[in-house]
Amino acid sequence: MPFTNETDILSIPAVLAAENHNTNVLVTIILTVILVAVGATVVFRREEPKKVPEFQEPPVLPSKVPFIGHLIGMLRWQVGYMQMLSSKCPSWPAFTLRIGAARIYVICDPSLIQAAYRNAKTFDFGSFVVESSERLFQISEHGMKIIRGETTPGYDPNGPFLNGNNGKSFLNENHRIMVDTLSPGPALRSLNRAVLDRVAGSLNDIDSTEGKFGLYRWMRDIITHASAEAIYGPNNPFSGNPKLVEDLWHFEADMTLLMLQFMPTFIAPKAYHARTAIRNAFEEYYANGHDKEASILIQTHLASCKKWGFGDSDIANFEVSTLFLATTNTVSTSFWQLSYILSDPELLDAIRAEVEPIIKRQNSPIVGEEVAVMDITLFQTQCPLLVSTFHETLRLVGSATSVRSVVAPANLKANSNTFSLQSPAVIQLPSGITHSSPAIWGPDVNSFNPTRFLASTKATLDKETKRKQIQGYFPFGGGKHLCPGRHFATAEILSFVTALVTGFDIEGSHVPERAFQKLGTGVRKPMGDVDVGIKRREGWEGVKWCFDLGGQEVNFSTLAGGSDEVEE
């Protein structure tokens, strides 16, 4: 399947070319040089390439600039680059990019993507976690030895990386802790309870005198404070410290540049100083014993860090990553879902009518006021349109790319496609490609269709389209590393958005343009902010908001989708 016109490959679709981006030439050149070196280290340090001749490799997509053309493309267009390439060859199930001698396999076919997720043994994520811990979180050499599994009893330098997928190692244990404490059960329940109490507090503080403010930033700050309090307890470093909240988002904005470890105070000064400030604040937090009031997630993680021998300084270094993961995608998803609903008056009315029955109004003898209690266990059964808009939002603005390294030569097989993949190599599974494919979603792929994920809509699809949509929609990734925070995020987003559309009138909202998507971003951000005014809706003026998690466990498995079953 050769390309007939190479110029086509590197020409830029209007939608991407129109986007604002600020990658300057100097930084691009520096990034290019350093990432070539990084890529070579990641790719070559483990094994020599071995060939599996049985089947063909995915076809090579050439670039006009030899050796580093695709690297320059990735740095210039970042997350959007794979989408650009794929739009030039929409029928290709996968393609290979060559950067020097290194290979990147980009998988576009939904069945092949799911096949790759299932084989976590061959397509490994651990090496990327090790690499980013070292580059982004400034872990000491002693800490890196623990992370690389070198302090594990019986460590065999020639054995499987990180002592195997499920073997004894700090990373495997930490992964298990995340999955266990964030899956439906008592730990998640208390986390949900804490985050929603804090969200309710923010809603109850709203009065009509606020004037205009930026909607994205306002939601960002509420979610950041609520998540920090739920995860780290009432004396978390962010409480009463708006500067540290700003710092978290400065870090988030330029963390890719920090990963280069090249003149960080020059190329990413705000992110660099922000990381130091957050790290110092967490060191003080732990020194003062505030972690005793933290969530089970943090207490279990801390016990594990201590057991494996991490020093206090490294423990503080880790924390920026936890809070970053817990907020970065949740904030944008909440903002977009709310904006899409508010932009369509008929949809807004329909959602208000759908959610009102799950909100009970009652006079509370405790607060002496009228309370609006939202039963969040009923989203799944009683609010199909709301849930459909949640998924449609994630389809349109969620474009995370899962990356895995191919640790042994393998065949990737699904339906009629089988490809041979060499090792070492990197595979990329960009959800941006499948989420925006007209072949999967139809001609209205670029529009927000609120009913797309309703069971009644899906029932009209033929079997093949239904299969492609199920497999091609993966905003939370998949396989062993499927986002463990998806239940927590779903509860928080749906509750927050539902309370806002039901109890408040938000004036001036519209759906903004999307910002240029930097490497490392999962959910796209808005370009700029949207100035709005907010006031209590007629009939809801005096109520206090409160979220009820019901008598039973809130199980968001069906809502958040996905399963973490993988081949071991």
Instruction: Draw the binding track, 110-129, toward ligand HEM (x: CB under 6 A; -: no contact).
Output: ---------------x----
- Asked whether position 483 contacts ligand HEM by CB under 6 A, the answer is yes
Q: Least distance from C-beta 323 to ligand HEM, angstroms?
A: 9
Q: How far is the CB of 251 from ligand HEM (least distance, A)?
A: 16
Give 3-state DSSP helix, strand, coil % of the chain, rounded to 5: 55, 15, 35
Q: How far is the CB of 129 from ligand HEM (least distance, A)?
A: 6
Q: Which is nearer to ligand HEM, 125 or 516 (CB)?
A: 125
Answer yes or no whether residue 82 interacts with ligand HEM by CB under 6 A: no
Nearer to ligand HEM (CB atom), residue 178 or residue 534: 178
The full length of the chain comes to 568
Radius of gyration (C-alpha) of the chain in whole angstroms: 24
**Distance in angstroms (rounded) separating the CA atoms of residues 358 and 389:** 17
Contact range with ligand HEM by CB under 6 A, out of 76-84, 286-294, 323-331, 418-426 = 323-331
Contact status: 330 vs ligand HEM (CB under 6 A): yes
- Whole-angstrom distance, CA of residue 506 vs CA of residue 521: 28
Q: What are the beta bridge partners of residue 425? A: 406
**Beta carbons of 3 and 243 less than 8 angstroms apart:** no
Closest CB 74 distance from ligand HEM, rounded Å: 17
Give exposure, 365-391, as e/b (b: 16+ Cβ within 10 Å).
eeeeeebbbbbbbbbbeebbbbbbbbb
Segment 139 to 178, residues that bind ligand HEM, using CB under 6 A: 175, 178
Q: Which of residues 421-480 bind ligand HEM (CB under 6 A)?
A: 475-478
Q: How far is the CB of 388 from ligand HEM (least distance, A)?
A: 16
By CB under 6 A, residue 484 contacts ligand HEM: yes
Q: The tokens of 239 are what?
A: 């409480």
User: Could you give the CA distance from residue 31 to residue 423 in angstroms, rounded to a whole number?
Assistant: 25
* 482 touches ligand HEM (CB under 6 A): yes
Binding of residue 398 to ligand HEM (CB under 6 A): yes
Q: Please say which residue, 233 or 485, places its beta carbon nearer to ligand HEM.
A: 485
Q: Under the criterion CB under 6 A, does residue 379 sit at the interface with ligand HEM?
A: no
SS3 of 200, please?
Answer: helix
Angle at which helix 126-136 crosses helix 170-182, to 10 degrees, equals 100
**Residue 296 found at the interface with ligand HEM (CB under 6 A):** no
Give least dist CB 430 to ligand HEM, A.
Answer: 11
Confirm or reject binding of residue 523 to ligand HEM (CB under 6 A). Answer: yes
User: Of the two residues 69 and 522, which places its CB atom closer to ligand HEM in the complex?
Assistant: 522
Tell me the β-bridge partners of 119.
567
Piece of 88-96, 266-274, 354-362, 398-406 that binds ligand HEM (CB under 6 A): 398-406
Whichever of 272 and 518 has its CB closer to ligand HEM, that residue is: 518
Alpha helices in 295-401 (DSSP H): 296-308, 312-342, 345-355, 379-382, 384-397
Q: In a 3-state reduction of DSSP, which class is residue 53?
A: coil
The smaller minimum CB distance to ligand HEM, of residues 372 and 383, is found at 383
Q: Looking at 40, 206, 296, 325, which residue binds ligand HEM (CB under 6 A)?
A: 325
Q: Six-digit token pair at 1?
A: 């399947």
Where does this chain touch ligand HEM (CB under 6 A) — which range of 132-140, 194-202, 326-334, 503-511?
326-334
Residue owning tokens 């739009």: 87
d(C-alpha 281, C-alpha 320), whole Å: 10
Q: Are 387 and 455 in contact (CB under 8 A)?
A: no
Report whether 483 belongs to an annotated binding site: yes
How, if at all, do strands 417-421 and 401-406 pair? unpaired
Please tell me whether residue 388 binds ligand HEM under the rule CB under 6 A: no
- Scanning residues 225 to 264, which ones bind ligand HEM (CB under 6 A)? none
Least distance in angstroms from the C-beta of 86 to ligand HEM: 18
Residue closer to ligand HEM by CB (options 39, 398) is 398
Shorter beta-carbon distance to ligand HEM: residue 421 or 427: 427
Backbone angles phi, psi at 530, to 5 degrees: -120, 120
Amino acid at 336: W
Token readout for 209 is 């005198």
- Alpha carbons 149 and 144: distance in angstroms, whole number: 8
By CB under 6 A, is residue 488 in contact with ligand HEM? yes
CB contact at 8 A, 286 and 101: no
Q: Rounded CA gap, 201 and 322, in Å?
A: 23
Judged by beta carbon, residue 372 or residue 524, the one nearer ligand HEM is 524
Q: Which of 111, 127, 329, 337 binds ligand HEM (CB under 6 A)?
A: 329
Count of residues of this chain found to bind ligand HEM when the rule CB under 6 A is applied: 25
Separation CA 344–CA 341 (nearest Å): 6
Binder of ligand HEM out of 260, 374, 400, 421 (CB under 6 A): 400
* Calpha distance 295→399 (Å, rounded): 30
**Interaction of residue 524 with ligand HEM, rule CB under 6 A:** no
**CA gap 239, 233 in Å, rounded:** 9
Q: In angstroms, what is the minimal distance from the CB of 370 to ligand HEM?
A: 31
Count of Cβ atoms closer than 10 Å to residue 182 Cβ: 21
The residue ranges that bind ligand HEM (CB under 6 A) are 125, 175, 178, 182, 325-326, 329-330, 333, 398, 400, 402, 475-478, 481-485, 488-489, 522-523
Provide the annotated binding site. 483
Provide the annotated binding site for heme. 483
